[in-house]
Chains A and B, each alone.
Chain A
C-alpha cells in the first residue's frame, strides 16, 4: 500500500491551523458577500444621485413640478411632469389592454393547444420577439406603422368618433394609438412567457378531475387553468406595464412630443417621460438636464411601485400553492 497522502502535511493527522487548501475560503466568501452588498449599494446610489442632481433644477423651477403643463426648462425655466406622466400612463395602459388578451391566448396556445413537439419551438419564436431591440421596433413603427395607421385611424374617427377616445378634428398616424400598438407588441412576449409558465404549473390533478367529468377543452381551461393562473397573469401584466412605461426609444421616434392632456388617442399628440428624456437630452441646458433627471426619478418611482406590486402578487401565490422555487 502507498504511503498515506496526509503525512505530507506534517506530524499530526489533523491540521491544526488553516492549511494551504483552505486559505482561499475567507477571501472567496468575502468577495461573494461583497458583490451582493455592492448591488444593494448601486440601488441606493441610483436613488440618491437622481435626487441630488434633480434638486437644483427643481429649485430653479418657475412653475409647479406637479401641475405645470409645459416643459421649458431651457428657456423659461418652467416645467411640470403632469402631461408627461399622463402620456406615460395612458400609452402603457392602452398597450396593456391590447397585449394581455393576445398574450393569454398565445400562452394557452403553447401550453394547451399546440402539439407538444411544437410547443418548445413556438416558445422560442415568442422569445425571439422579445429579443428584437426596441430601436428596431421604433424604426418599423415610424417608417411602416405610422403611415399605415392613417387609414384605420380615419375609419375609427369617422364611424366611432362619438366615443371621446376616438374623437378629435385632426387624425394622424403619429398618435397615442400607434405608439401604444408598438408598446403592445413589445410587452406581449414577456406577458406570454410568464403566463405560459404559470399555465404549465396547473396541477395535473385539477385538469384531470375536470376531464373526468366530461369537460371539453375550453371547460377544462375555464374551470381549472384560468383560476389557477389568474394571479400569475395579473403579475405578468404588471411587469409588462412597468416595461411599457419605461420603454424609451421606440416611442420617442413615434410620439409627436406635444405637451397637453387629452384623451383623444387618434389626434397628433402624445408624449411620455422616457420619450421626453430621449428627445430633449441633446439640447438640454444644465437646468434642462436636472429637469430631465427629476422626471426620470418620477418614472423610477412609478415603475418601482408597479414592479414591487407584481412581485408581491407572485410571492403570495407561491406561498399558498406551496410551490417553492
Chain B
C-alpha cells in the first residue's frame, strides 16, 4: 500500500462512486441489509424444518394434519415412548454397538499405522502411503456387489461384524492421514530421548506418542462417530435381520410400518438425530479441526 492511498481524503472514494447515482452510504446500507437477510433467511430455512420435526413429535394426528404450522396443544410424551418401543430402542442399541466398536477399531488401527508410517523406518513405506492414499479414492458404492459375495462367503453377512469391519476398513485411510498429519509435527527429540532411556517402540507409542496425539484422536473419533451413526448404504445391503438393523435403515422399516402415524414417526426421527447433534454441539472445535485438516491435506 502506498502512502498516497493513506493520505487520500476520505471523500475521494465517495466521489468516484457517486457518479453511478446512489451515494456510497446508502449503497452500503442496502448491501448490508441484503447480506443480513440472506444470512438470516438461510438460518430460518435450516432451523425451521428441524424445529417442526421436534415440535410435531408432540402433536396428535388431528393437529399435525389440520394445523401443520401450529404449536402442539400439549406435550404428548407418549408419542416418544411409543416410537421408542416400536423399534427405536432396538435400532438405537444396534447403532451404539456398531458405532462404539468401529470408533475404537478405526482410531487404534489408524494410530498404529500412522505411527509406523511417520516415526519408524518402514521398508516400502512409500508403497504403504500409496496404498492408503489410493484407499481414499475408492468409494463404497462401487464395492457393494463383490462385498456382498465376500461377506456371504466368510459368514459375516447379516451380523454386526459386517458393519464394524467395513466402517473401519473404508475409514482407515482418511483417519490415518488425519492422525499422521498431527503425529509428524511432534518433535523427534521425544522419541530419541526415550530410545536412549531404553524404551522400545511399543512403549514409546503407548506412553508418549499416543497421549501426545490426544487432540487429533478426539477429532478422529468424533468424525468416525458421525460417519458410523449415519451410514446408510452398507447398513441397508449387508444387514437384513430387523433385530440387527442400525438407526438409518431401521427408521425406514419403521416408516413403512407406521405409515400414517406421523407424530410418532417424527418423534422417532428426532430421537435418532439427537445424539450426533449433541455430540457436534459439545465437540464442535474438535469436529472442525478434523474436517478441515482432513479436507485440506
A, B from the same assembly: no
